[in-house]
Amino acid sequence: MDLVSEKVVRQFIEDGFAVIPGFLSPSEVADLKAATNEVVSDYCKDSQISIFRNQSRDTYFAESGDKIRGFYEEGAIDKAGCLRVEKAEDGLNKVGHALHTFHPTFRRITFSSKVKEVLKRLTSIKEATINQSMVIFKHPKVGGVVIPHQDATYLYTDPTPGTLVGFWIALDEATKLNGCLHFFAGSHKAKKVYQRFIRNQDKSSETLFVHTGEPVPKLPSGTLVPATCKPGDLVVIDGLVIHQSEPNTSDQPRMAYTFHVIDGSVSYSSENWLQPTSANTFEKLNDVDVQA
């Protein structure tokens, strides 16, 4: 069966995102969930309490590009810095940013032939390169908002259009109630990166990263489109499209596995927060054979 239909190709060009239903089989989804459980208990049980929001001054975040580290939701931590939730894992916002490097299951899915096929059909990327991966939890009641942003803010490439693509795979059903992704359809067509998140050149400052440029513009709410998903559905995200997600106010979980692909044949900014290291070398998709 054709994984990428003509409708998907047209939606990706027009809207800057597209949903590919049934990208992963139920057993692949189960494998990723089991891998997530392993990662959370094996790697993160002794992790420090770092809230995903305070990245600018956070060395723990800054050094997570080639590791597997956990980050907590703001709403899961009280004023004294202690967890409000009974089980630590229920307060996690995400684990990242090198799951694809260290865990065989994440590796198998990320470097799979299905990913290669999607990239071939939807993009003109010449040297597909994986630079980061995360599980985003959005737990019931504590899963917080993700404000409107472009992925190119964080992973800037030059030239930008068509050289950064996000893969976001639903591991639970994602609905309007539990915080599915929402896209400002067509916003990628401005071909503009509004804001950058870069390394602070002032090395004497405690602030490790700064924002430059302007926030993304407020766009008509009529162009905001929900990307509801069943488990295993893939949302492909153009690096320039503006997107967001609401808090999870429901009692249903909304977990997703996401990773980013850049074109290794164009310039990747040395100002980006995430840089290749000897542990996360930004491997090329075609250099890794995972038999899947």
Q: Which residues bind ligand AKG (CB under 6 A)?
A: 136, 138, 146, 151, 166, 179, 181, 243, 245, 256, 258
DSSP 208-260: -EEEEE-PPPP--GGGEEEE-B-TT-EEEEETTS-EEE----SSS---EEEEE
Q: Using omega within 30 degrees of 0 as the cis cutoff, is the peptide bond preceding 188 cis?
A: no
Specify the residue, 112 or 245, whose C-beta has the smaller distance to ligand AKG.
Answer: 245
CB of 258 to ligand AKG, least distance (A): 5
Residue number of the CB closest to ligand AKG reads 245
How many Å apart are CA 146 and CA 153, to the nearest integer? 14
Evaluate whether 209 touches 272 at the Cβ level (below 8 Å): no
Specify the residue, 1 or 71, whose C-beta has the smaller distance to ligand AKG.
Answer: 71
User: What radius of gyration do the chain's Cα atoms show?
Assistant: 18
Q: Which residues contact 70 (CB under 8 A, 6 or more apart)?
A: 40, 43, 44, 47, 50, 92, 94, 95
CB of 243 to ligand AKG, least distance (A): 5
Closest C-alpha to 248, from 173, 153, 167, 144: 144
Specify the residue, 151 or 172, whose C-beta has the smaller distance to ligand AKG.
Answer: 151
CA 278 to chain centre: 22
CB of 159 to ligand AKG, least distance (A): 20
| Rounded (10°) CA dihedral 143, 40, 236, 154 | 80
CB of 12 to ligand AKG, least distance (A): 16
CB of 128 to ligand AKG, least distance (A): 18
Specify the residue, 96 or 162, whose C-beta has the smaller distance to ligand AKG.
Answer: 96
Specify the residue, 79 or 218, whose C-beta has the smaller distance to ligand AKG.
Answer: 218
CB of 136 to ligand AKG, least distance (A): 4
How many Å apart are CA 9 and CA 179, to the nearest integer? 25
CB of 162 to ligand AKG, least distance (A): 17
Question: C-alpha distances in angstroms, 137 versus 208, 247, 259, 286, 292?
Answer: 26, 11, 14, 29, 25
Specify the residue, 5 or 141, whose C-beta has the smaller distance to ligand AKG.
Answer: 141
Specify the residue, 45 or 135, whose C-beta has the smaller distance to ligand AKG.
Answer: 135
